[in-house]
Structure 1
Amino acid sequence: MTVALFALTALLWGGGALATAMQAGVTPAPWSVALRMVLAGLILLGYGRLRGVPLAIPRKDRPAVALQGLLFFAIAFIAFYEATARMPSGLAALVLSTSSLFAAVIARGALGVPISSGFVWGALCGILGLVIIFLPGASAHGAASLAGFAWALTAAIATGAGTTVGARNQRAGLPVVSVLAWGAFVGAAASALWAIATGTPFAADVSLSYAASFLYLAVAASCVTFMLYFELVRRLGPGRAAYTLALVPLVALVLSALFEHLALGWPVLAGAAAILAGNVLVLARA
């Protein structure tokens, strides 16, 4: 069951990388994230009410829920949107996959979660695969990809930190649906404030591609995937759960090759093999 959750999360998020790239254009990234999180929050609240899940967050846990929303639902998503606007979505997803390392290190310091030797070797394989695949792509796209890399790395750090805060909230016994719903609303508010503070005007994109990608991102890649992902956090811990993002690039690279004309050659195959080997090592002790 855990392996199935792991694979489904990676597949849905892998498709989300291309859908995020389709959002670039008329509507600025912070406003796209704000709209997406409002819809996701409403759906999650409705789902929680139908299931009879307690939706109120205890006062003492509200700062942690807000922090999770800020990191995971605002900063990480805005940064990834900005990254896919500057580089192929497959390459951006590769950088994002390093969030497992940040999650493990932050969880070790904040929650005392041990780092196993299996995770270390698996993470090293993941890094090796990332380097094998990303370096040729970075060379091909030149200096223009550096800004995209910086944004993607910011998304990875924020995702790792948000994953760790999510693990803390689960340890506190908070219902996942409630945390995700309110976290999404916090992410929406933070994204809108970001846009206002940076003087980013709102512009509506009414194209079919934007609408389709928006619905996919809000429902499949947000509501469904968030619940799957934080269920993995509960089962595997934040470091290993975040390693689902090591599989995301494999899906994202294939879609990027099909729709963004990203060249796939031996570096991609060798790097993919290294990332998959890393997953086997990480999950072997899960």
Structure 2
Amino acid sequence: MTAVLFALTAMLWGGGALATAMQASVTSAPWSVALRMALAGLILLGYGLIRGVPLAIPRKDRWAVALQGLLFFAVAFIAFYEATARMPSGLAALVLSTSSLFAALMARAALGIAISSGFVWGALCGILGLAVIFVPGAAASRVAPLAGFGWALVAALATGAGTTIGARNQHAGLPVVAVLGWGAFAGAAASALWALATGTTFAIDPSVSYLLSFLYLAIAASCVTFMLYFELVRRLGPGRAAYTLAVVPLIALVLSALFEHLTLGWPVLAGAGAILAGNVLVLSR
């Protein structure tokens, strides 16, 4: 069953990278994330009501649910939207996969969860892989892809931190659906505040591609995948659950090559191999 959860999570999020790239249009990233998370929150809490799941969050745990929402459902997603607007979605997903490194480190520091003996070598492989892919772009002063790399790295950091807080919330015995539903609302509120604070104009893109990708992201790549992912966190721990994000780039890279004309040359393939090998070392027993 765990293998099925793992595969579904990777496939849905792999398709989500390309769908996110399709969102880069009239509607800005913060407003797209705010709308997506608001709809996801409604669906998740509605599902909880239908199933009779307790939805109240104890007062002592509300800060942690809000923090998970801020990191995982706002900062990580806004940063990833910004990344895919500046670089192929497959490469952005590849950078995002390094969240397994950050999740393992943060879980060790915050929760005392042990990391594998191969962590140092795995981290070095991940850094080497990123360098192989992105250093040539830096040498050529390709500003947009490098800015995309920066945003994708922020998304990886926030995802790792949000995953660790999610593990804390599950250890506290909080219902997953309630945490995800209220966390999505917290993410929606934080994203809207981000948009207002930066003076971002609210506008809706009425195109079919935007609306279809929005529904896919809000339902399949948010509601369904969030529940699958944090069930993996419960079963495997935050570091090993984040390994799904090491598989996502394989799907995202293929889709990016098919629909975004990404050239899978030797730097991309070699870098991807090093990053994925690094994640395997980090998460090995």
- Determine the structure 2 residue equivalent to 1:87: 87
**Separation in structure 2 between the aligned mates of residue 154 and residue 136 of structure 1, nearest angstrom:** 21
Q: CA deviation at 1:97?
A: 1.0
Q: Does structure 1 residue 232 correspond to structure 2 residue 246?
A: no
Q: CA deviation at 1:66?
A: 0.4
- Determine the structure 1 residue equivalent to 2:178: 178
Q: CA deviation at 1:48?
A: 1.0
Q: CA deviation at 1:276?
A: 4.7
User: More deviation in 21-30 or 236-245?
Assistant: 236-245
- Aligned ranges 1:1-286 → 2 under 5 Å: 1-135=1-135, 142-278=142-278, 280-281=280-281, 285=285
**Separation in structure 2 between the aligned mates of residue 136 and residue 241 of structure 1, nearest angstrom:** 31
For structure 2, list consecutive stretches of 5 or more residues without a partner in the other structure: none
For 1:162, the aligned partner's letter is G
> What TM-score does the superposition give when structure 1 sets the normalisation length?
0.93
SS of the equivalent of 1:240 reads helix
**Separation in structure 2 between the aligned mates of residue 95 and residue 117 of structure 1, nearest angstrom:** 23
CA RMSD of aligned residues (A): 1.9
For 2:109, the aligned partner's letter is G
Q: CA deviation at 1:271?
A: 3.8
Do the aligned partners of residues 83 and 273 (structure 1) sit closer, same or farther apart at CA in structure 2, a change above 3 Å counting? Answer: closer
* Contact residue 91 and residue 134 of structure 1 kept, 8 A: no
Do the aligned partners of residues 67 and 16 (structure 1) sit closer, same or farther apart at CA in structure 2, a change above 3 Å counting? Answer: same
**Separation in structure 2 between the aligned mates of residue 271 and residue 3 of structure 1, nearest angstrom:** 26
* Contact residue 126 and residue 278 of structure 1 kept, 8 A: yes
For structure 1, list consecutive stretches of 5 or more residues without a partner in the other structure: none
Q: CA deviation at 1:265?
A: 2.2
For 2:39, the aligned partner's letter is L
Q: CA deviation at 1:3?
A: 2.4
**Separation in structure 2 between the aligned mates of residue 157 and residue 125 of structure 1, nearest angstrom:** 17
Pairs aligned (count): 285
* Contact residue 126 and residue 246 of structure 1 kept, 8 A: no
For 1:199, the aligned partner's letter is G
**Separation in structure 1 between the aligned mates of residue 234 and residue 120 of structure 2, nearest angstrom:** 20
Q: CA deviation at 1:243?
A: 1.9
Q: In percent, how many aligned pairs have the same letter? A: 85
**Separation in structure 1 between the aligned mates of residue 139 and residue 250 of structure 2, nearest angstrom:** 20
